[in-house]
Structure formats: structure tokens, C-alpha cells
A and B are shown apart, each in its own frame.
Chain A
Amino acid sequence: MSTADMINPAKAEYGLLVNYDWCTGCHSCEIACQVDHQMSEGQSGILVHDMGHWPLDGDAWQFGYLAVPTKQCDACAHRRALGKIPTCVQHCQAQCLEFGPIEDILKKVTTEYQTVFTLADK
């Protein structure tokens, strides 16, 4: 990784859509990724971030989690070659993750509290 890589990033081929409102913070995506890729302890291709919790008006709360890929995410190329979906998406207990070609994923981004992480073909 260098400045050159950063100012000329690879073309986005895939998208990981996170339906933010539904992530329960269960960490299944992380452990599935780490085990499937036989990563060393402390490494991961995806991390669940605690988006904090504090009371708002009335009984409402800010309370949520957000899963975001790391540089180690390879979009599960080896699984896709076997006709399978990425392991984080399969094991997401809340089924709040979706993966696909970027054009297809972008079509699904129509409502509030969705985030798309773009991924190159590696």
C-alpha cells in the first residue's frame, strides 16, 4: 500500500451491503472469516463496530453495530470459486449482509441506514 495505490484504487467489482438497522452485533461474521481464512489470532477480514448506545428522546436510543471489511477481506474468492457465498454473509445470524456484483448491490440501496462497502476482484 502506498499513496499511488490510494489515489488510484482498484475498480470496485463487488459490494457488501450492510443493513445497519438489523445488525445485532453477534460477531459471527468475524469468527467465520477468521476460521475460514485460517487467520492468526487478532486478525480478521471483517470487524463489527459498536456504534455506541445512548438515550435519545422519549424511549428511543442510539444503539447499533456496523460490520466493515478490513484490508484482509478477499471477498471469499476461494468460496465463490466453489459456488458458495462469502462466509460472513452465510453465517450472519441477523442476515443483514448481502454480497454481489456492485451493480446489483447498488440497486438494492434504496432506504435509510444501509451501507455498501465496495471491493475489488483480487
Chain B
Amino acid sequence: MADLDGFNNSGVSTQLVGDFHLINHEKPWRYEEDGLTVTRGSAWSGPGCHDGCGVLLYTDKNGKLVKCEGDPENPYNNGRLCVRCLDVNEVTNHKDRLMYPMKRDPKNRGKDEWERISWDEAFDLVYEKFTDIKEKYGAESVVFGQGTGRDIAAYITRLCWSFGSPNYVLFLSGCACYLPRVAGFAATAGSFWVADCSQEFPDRYDNPEYQVPETMFVWGNYPLRANSDGFYGHWVVDLMKRGMELVVIDPKVTWMSTHAKLHLPIRPGCDAALALGFLNVIINEDLYDHDFVDKWTYGFEELAARVQEYTPEKVAEITWLPKEKIIEGARLLANSKPCTMQWGVAVDMTKEALPASQAIAACFQITGNVDVPGGIIAPPEILNYAGGWGRELCPEDTWKKRIGLDKYPLLNFGFQIAQPDELRHTMATGKPYKIHATWLQQNNVLSCMGADPTEQYIGLMNCDFNVSVDLFMTPTIMATSDVVLPAATFPERNGIRVGDGCQRGEVINKVTQIGECKSDMEINLELGRRFNPEAWPWDNVDEMFSAMLEAQTPFGFEYLREKGPAYLPFNYRRYEKGILRADGQPGFNTPTGRIELWSTFYNTAGMDPLPYFEEPIPGPGSTPELLDEYPLVLTTGARPWSLFHSEHRQVKRLRNLKKECNVYLNPATAEKYGLVDGDWVWIQNIYGRCKSKVEVTNLYQNPKVIACDHAWWHPEGDPEKLYDSHDLNVNNLLPGIPGKSGFGSNYKTTLVKLYKVTPQDDTNGPFQKDNYVGQALTDKVAEAIASIKESK
């Protein structure tokens, strides 16, 4: 047992201002230490993740960032940091950073023929082109896209809507990251719920209100590496030291799974079935919380009837898990008081992600773990981050032209995005209207988030004008952009830490300047006020941040710089006190005021109001005909320690910790295919192929399951071969077919075969765009099955 009386387990001193807790700091926000200047602040990326840890940034007398340390006074990470922030100076100071704006003749897309321009010229060019396109074709023909939703999201939405376009998007099929889980919870419980790891209290685990969970279910997530959604992964370890047990639902054997009470190595894509199986046992064995269910839930009888289809026997068959372990998991869930749950993107990255989220949520709802200490909690917000900022700025007549609205009515229920798959088709086909320009901010869509990268590429090449804002040159920019604007890493800019998970009043502080880089927010503000000055009335970004903060808190930017982080007012069982609803009535923020196990929200949107499971397609359960040709289940996207999505490949210390794109094979699988460590193989399915380097491992115990890294490219490679991105991108195998609601997509499960890369067959070559029909627009599954039947 480690020593819990060590230096950095809470013990911070706090001060109450109104209902907000502030931290009493020993030193000012900026001070001198040993010849270096130290600046305290938060670290919300890029580069990096979704956390926003407290950091101390060290700069020398020339203003160069020399190191980044964790801030021991910040209760979020207690002085700790992961390797990505510890090495951020190597990213910020990297010789390959984009340093100044550049343009390229659209005729030369794909060629490394860039011309340096000034910021004025760049802004003028973007303003003129976008305005011209807006006048000719309407504002909706300009798409505003971003990569993974870090702290830049709010400003991009405002830029999009104040320009007048309804088409703000993450080019991620089925919005399959975070939003399906948000939707799944919002539809049933009126807000988003996260594991209570005491993160709402500055004194953390020592807070007298807090209780350590008896058991945490870690579901489709490896928090120690992923640090996803405002959840500092090693809180799990902190809680284990305080007695919490783990149940790990993950196809892979990990440090966590081998230190868990129960490991459920599920077949990828079957999480909804497991949750429905848990519910079957919990309800049929009468293990649920009767008092809570009677008083605070709606539709329990309907849920109880639905889960009868999912007996442990049937769920065992679907999930490839032993029946006894499913029953054991269900009993652990119901009998642990409190029980909490940390879930991840694997839940979103299944096609029917909404019913999956709904089923998983129900497990913790009917067992009375909602809004209790150590259960699941709805974090208070400074800004409704998932919703964007300034939707009212988009005129109503253009708002109705948002892509995907006709096909997916759920988008009308509080979701302010264009549906990414419909938009991908629109860009490639010009239907229902042509997209003429794109604004892509920190979005390497052709290497990372975009399913069916070929269709994505065609859509971008169809545009008259593409602008990218990024930290480094990327395959996407090299392939398709006409103007590129250099963005700042977090040590080069000011910002505020509002976002997913535990929101705190906390600021990000600029300590250094690289080239002519500007922050994303500054770029958005400067461009935004050219398009729509009324929507961007602030002289500088700090004023803008203060305006955002002051709408919800008594604090401005400067104040929080000295005093932050500010912890928002928080307490438990708020549903009993009328705090969760706008009308002040007790209950949850749903139409019935109860947790809706039968969702009136889904029902109104024309969807099944109850959770269900659908077999992933293609997959062993849905297309057994394909198994002879494609016998392996492929899962993708497990996180390495040192790389965040498509970032960090050019950063030496971090690349040394993860050198290459790997496919992970069980020894039996490797032997069957005659493969050894280091072999390069093609991974192919009915949609396409990518290549990867073999790592033989026993961490995937089931020889039918293999895994491949995602978002790989070689910054050291040939720019005009797009840095090998089109060869290495596992998304070539993913068609981008969303769930029935428009949410969810099978990023993490498909059927594949393997064969060796040979000198004669070692590349996919350039994107093939002639006569290409989007993978999702043809029924490749039916075609593949038909061709197999014919050959027999």
C-alpha cells in the first residue's frame, strides 16, 4: 500500500467566495525561480487531450518555454502530469511548427508549393472568398469544421453561426465521440452524468460529503492513458488505494483489468447487449433500488419487459463472455454501494450508440447510484460546452438548411451540429446543395476522425476554397487546403478552462511566442468581427473570456488568473431540492421530471423509447457469410501513452515511446498467418485496406479479435505522398454509416483479413477519386455476400 500521507494528496487550502471555492496560492500567478519565470495556469490543449490539468510553465529570460511541470496546488491533478504535457516544450518549440500564414494556388493542391503571406493578407483573402461565396451561394455553402472538441469548440461555433452558416461539424461519423453518451444521458436523465471521483471539491477525497465508491465499472475506456472528457485517468488509481474495486469491460488485458475484481473481455461493439444482460439479472433477481425506482423513474415496467429478451445465456452468446461472469458483473453492480461508472468512446463508436448509452445508464439509474456521493453526478457548468456558443446568431431561414436535419430529426432536439455523414455525402455529391468552402480548425480529417477518407477527400477537393488552422502541416492540409493559418499551442496563448467533465473557473496563460502563431480564439475573434462585428464586440480575447465567465460566475479573466481554479457550487441529491430543473421543482430535467427509462424524448423524435442491441455490421453475428473470407474481428483506436490521435508523431521523445502504427495479434493468430513481430501487413475488409506493423501479444486473449492503432501518418515521409497517411489510415476500412438517430458509428468493430505487404504491393497510392461512390452509399455488405454465394 502506498503512503497516503504523501505531499500531494489534497491538503490544499481553500477560500469560499459566494458559493465558489477558490484556492489559496502560496505564490502569485507568475513568479521567479532559479533564473526562470514560472507561470501558473491550466493546460487545455492542443496539443493534447481533454483534461486541462494545472501546470507551471517555465520560461527562460528569452521567453522560451523550457519545461512544464504539474501544479501541486491544483486539486485536479495534484502536481502530476502525463508525458504529453511534460514534453510540451518539445512540441511548442518544434522546428516543423507552422510559423506564419501561407497560401497555395488551388491548382497545386497536393503539392508542397506554399507561399508565405502576412496575417492581413490571409484574413483579407479568407474574408473576400467567404463573402463572395456567401453572396453567390448562401452562407450554408461554407462548412466550419473542427477536430476533436477541445477548448476551441465554443469559438468555432460562434464563428460559424455569426457568419450565418448552419453547418458546424466534427467530421466524425455519427458524431461518435462523447455526444452519443451525452445524448443517451440527456434523453433519459436531463443532463450528462460522470463518475464521482470527488472532482467537484477542492479538498477532493478528504471532503466530508464525499464517499469512495465501492466499485467502479470502467466501460469501453482506458482512462489511465486516454484522460478523456475532463476525467484525469489516475483518479481511478487514487480511488483503488482508498479501497475501490474495479470491473473492467475491455477486449484487451491491461494493468487495470489485471488489477480488477472482474474483467469482462467483451466482443467489440456488444456493449449494449452486456448492459441489457446486466439489467435482466438485476431486475429478475430483484436487486434494484425499489424506493428510487418508484419515486424517481418513469417506464420501469416497460424496461423490465424489454430486458427479458436479453437472458444471460443469450448475452453470453452475443458478447463471447461466460454467462457466469455476466451474472457476477450484474450482482457486483447492484450490490456495490455506491457503484460508479467511467465510460469511454467505445460506447459511442458502435452504430447504435444511443440505445447502448441508454442501457448502460439504466444500470446505474435503477440501482440508485444517481446524484449520490461516489455514484454518478451531473457536473455544474459555466458554459454548455456540448451545445456551442451563440446559436441565435445564425438566421432562422439558413438554420433550417442544416445538413442532415431532414434525415435525422433528433438533431432538432438541442443538437446544433450538421450530421457529419450526410455532410460528407453532400460535399462529395453536391446534394441537396453544393458546399463551396471549408474552414477546418485543428482537424486532420483525412488521417484521423473521418470515416471513408476517400469520400472525405473528394468532398474537400470539390470545394472552391479550403482554409485550415493548425499547429503543424498535416496530410489533410497538404492534400486539400488553399490557405493555412498557424495556430498557437496552449503555452502560447490565453484561454479559459470551460469544457466537458468537471468545469472550473480557471485560465490558460500565454508564456511564449512562436513565429507569427495566433491562438485559435484570436483567429476566430479577428475573423469573426470582420464578418459580423456585433457578434464579436470585444477588443481582445481576454475581454471575450471575461464576458463568457461573467455570464455565469462573479469572476473575470484577470481575477481568475490570480485566484483560480474556482470550484462551482456543488452538492448531492439535487433532484430532491429542485436544483436540476429550470422551474425549481424537484426531479430531473425531463418532460416527466423523472429519470425516463422509457424516453419520451426519443419517442417524440420517432425513435425506440427503450434501449436495445443491434449486431454490428459487418460482424460475426450479422454477416456470418463473410467469416470465411474475413475471419477476424478488428477493433481500433486504443490509446498509447504518448500520442493524442494524429498528434505528436514528429515529437521525438514521445515518438520514442510509440514508434510505429501497430496491429496487435494473438500468438495463435500470428502463427496461423505466418507472421512475426515487425512484419508489415495489409489489413483488409470489404471497404478498403490499410497497412500496419505486427506486434504479437497475449493482451488480446481471444484469437478472433485483433486491434490496430489509429490516426497514423509519417511526418518524416514525403509530403506529396501525404506522409503515408492514405496507406496507414485504418479509417479506409470504415464506411461511416451512422446509427438510426444519426449518432454512433462502428469505428471499433469490423471483419477483416490479413496478408503480407510485398515490395510489389506496398501502397494504396494516391486517393482514387474518379467514379468513386461513397462506401456508405452502396450496400457493400450485400454485394460482398452475393459475390461469395456466386463463387460457391
- Hey, which bits of chain A sit against chain B, CB under 8 A? 19, 21-22, 24-28, 30-32, 34-36, 38, 41-42, 53-55, 59-61, 63-65, 78, 82, 85, 87, 90-96, 98, 108, 111
Contact flag A22-B698 (CB < 8 Å), given A27-B83, A27-B657, A91-B70: no
Give the chain A neighbours of B86 by CB distance below 8 A.
28, 31-32, 35, 91
State the CA gap A91–B79 with chains docked (Å): 6
Chain B: CB-nearest residue to A25: B255
By secondary structure, the A interface counts as mixed
- Judge whether B2 and A41 touch: CB under 8 Å: no
Q: Which B residues lie within 8 Å of A96 (CB)?
A: 2
Chain A residues with CB under 8 A of B699 = 53
The 7 sampled A-B contact pairs (Cβ below 8 Å) are A24-B224, A35-B68, A41-B656, A63-B259, A93-B80, A93-B224, A95-B6
B81 touches A111 (CB 8 A): no
CA separation between A21 and B259, bound complex, in Å?
9
Q: Which residues of B contact A63 (CB under 8 A)?
A: 253, 255, 258-259
Closest 5 CB pairs of A and B: A63-B258, A61-B258, A93-B234, A31-B86, A31-B83
Residues of chain B contacted by A93 (CB below 8 angstroms): 80-82, 224, 233-234, 237
CA distance A11 to B70 in the complex (A): 32
User: Is residue B211 contacting chain A, with contact meaning CB distance below 8 A?
Assistant: no
Whether the Cβ atoms of B87 and A35 lie closer than 8 Å is yes
Measured CB to CB, the nearest residue on chain B to A87 is B69
Give the complex CA separation of A28 and B237 in angstroms: 15
Interface of chain B residues 3 through 40 with chain A (CB within 8 A): 3, 6-9, 33-34
Contacts of B66 in A (CB 8 A): 38
Chain A residues within an 8 Å CB radius of B656: 41-42
Question: Which A residues are in CB contact (< 8 Å) with B237?
Answer: 22, 24, 93-95
- Interface assignment of B1: CB less than 8 Å from any CB of chain A: yes
B253 touching A41 by the CB < 8 A rule? no
B263 on the A face (CB < 8 A): yes
Q: Which chain B residues (59-88) contact chain A, with CB distance < 8 Å?
A: 66-70, 72, 79-83, 86-87
In the complex the two chains form, what is the Cα distance from A22 to B255 in whole Å? Answer: 9
Q: B80 to A90, Cβ gap below 8 A?
A: yes
The yes or no answer to B641 lying at the interface (CB within 8 A) is yes
A34 CB to nearest chain B CB (Å): 6
Q: Do the beta carbons of A91 and B81 come within 8 Å of each other?
A: yes
Within 8 Å CB of B258, what residues of A? 53, 60-61, 63
User: Whose C-beta in chain B lies nearest to the C-beta of A41?
Assistant: B652
Chain B residues positioned under 8 Å from A41 (CB to CB): 652-653, 656
Q: Known contacts A26-B224, A28-B86, A55-B698: does B2 contact A95 (CB below 8 Å)?
A: yes
B141 within 8 Å of A (CB atoms): no
Q: In the assembled complex, which residues on chain A have CB atoms less than 8 Å from the CB atom of B657?
A: 27
- Pick the contact of B253: A19, A61, A82, A91 (CB < 8 A): A61
B642 at the interface (CB under 8 A from A): yes
Assuming A32-B86, A90-B69, is B642 touching A27 (CB within 8 A)? yes
Given known contacts A82-B34, A90-B70, is B2 in contact with A22 (CB within 8 Å)?
A: yes
Residues on the A chain within 8 Å of B3, using CB: 98, 108
In the complex, B89 has a CB within 8 A of chain A: yes
Q: Is A28 a contact partner of B2 (Cβ separation < 8 A)?
A: no
Given contacts A55-B698, A63-B253, contact A31 B653 (CB under 8 A): yes
Q: Does B241 contact A (CB under 8 A)?
A: yes
Which A residues are in CB contact (< 8 Å) with B2?
Answer: 19, 22, 94-96, 98
Minimum Cβ distance to chain A for residue B231 (Å): 13
Contact A27 B698 (CB under 8 A): no
- Give the chain A neighbours of B8 by CB distance below 8 A: 90, 95
Q: Which of B33, B80, B83, B654 contacts A82 (CB 8 A)?
A: B33
Contact with A along B616-659 (1 / 0, CB 8 A): 00000000000000000000000001100000000011101100
Q: How far is the CB of B669 from chain A (nearest CB, A)?
A: 17
Min CB distance B694 to A, Å, is: 18
Contact of A90 with B83 at beta-carbon distance under 8 Å, contacts A24-B234, A25-B255, A59-B263 already known: no
Residue from B90, B241, B653 with most neighbouring chain A CB atoms (10 Å): B653
Q: CB-CB < 8 A to A82: which residues of B?
A: 33-34
Q: Which of B101-139 contact A (CB under 8 A)?
A: none
Are A53's CB and B253's CB within 8 A? yes
Which residues does chain B contribute within 8 Å of A21, judged by CB atoms? 259
Q: Please tell me if the beta carbons of B7 and A85 are within 8 angstroms of each other in the complex.
A: yes
Closest chain B residue to A21, Cβ basis? B259
Complex CA–CA separation, A108 to B4 (angstroms): 12
Kindly list chain A residues whose C-beta atoms are within 8 Å of the C-beta of B81.
28, 32, 91, 93
Interface residues of B in 461-519 (CB under 8 A from A): none
Structural contact, B67 and A24, CB atoms closer than 8 A: no
Across-interface contacts of B87 in A (CB, < 8 A): 31, 35
Cα A19 to Cα B79 with chains together (Å): 19
| B80 partner residues in chain A, CB cutoff 8 A | 28, 90-93, 95
- Let me know if B641 and A26 touch, CB within 8 A: yes
Contact with A along B231-244 (1 / 0, CB 8 A): 00110011001000
Q: Which residue of the partner chain A has the closest CB to B87?
A: A31
Q: Does A24 contact B82, Cβ atoms closer than 8 Å?
A: no
In Å, the complex CA distance between A98 and B90 comes to 27
Of the candidates B9, B258, B701, the one having the most CB atoms from chain A within 10 angstroms of its own CB is B258
Within the assembled complex, what's the spacing in Å between the Cα atoms of A42 and B258?
A: 30
CB distance B79 to A90 under 8 Å?
A: yes
8 A Cβ contacts from B185-204 to A: none
Q: Which residue of B lies closest to A65 (CB)?
A: B255
CB-CB < 8 A to B83: which residues of A?
26-28, 30-31
Instruction: Decide: B698 and A53 in contact? CB cutoff 8 A.
Output: yes
Highest count of chain A CB atoms <10 Å: which of B2, B33, B72, B241: B2
Residues of A within 8 A of B79 (CB): 90-91
> Which A residues are CB-close (under 8 A) to B234?
24, 26, 93-95
A23 → B minimal CB distance (Å): 8
- Give the docked Cα–Cα distance between A95 and B77 (Å): 11
Q: How far is the CB of B8 from chain A (nearest CB, A)?
A: 7
A28 touching B263, Cβ below 8 Å: no
Chain A nearest CB: distance from B342 CB in Å?
A: 15
Query: How far apart are the CA atoms of A26 and B236 in the complex, in Å?
Result: 14
Using Cβ atoms and an 8 Å threshold, which residues of chain A touch B263? 59
Complex CA distance for A82 and B56, rounded to whole angstroms: 15
Q: Are A35's CB and B89's CB within 8 A?
A: yes
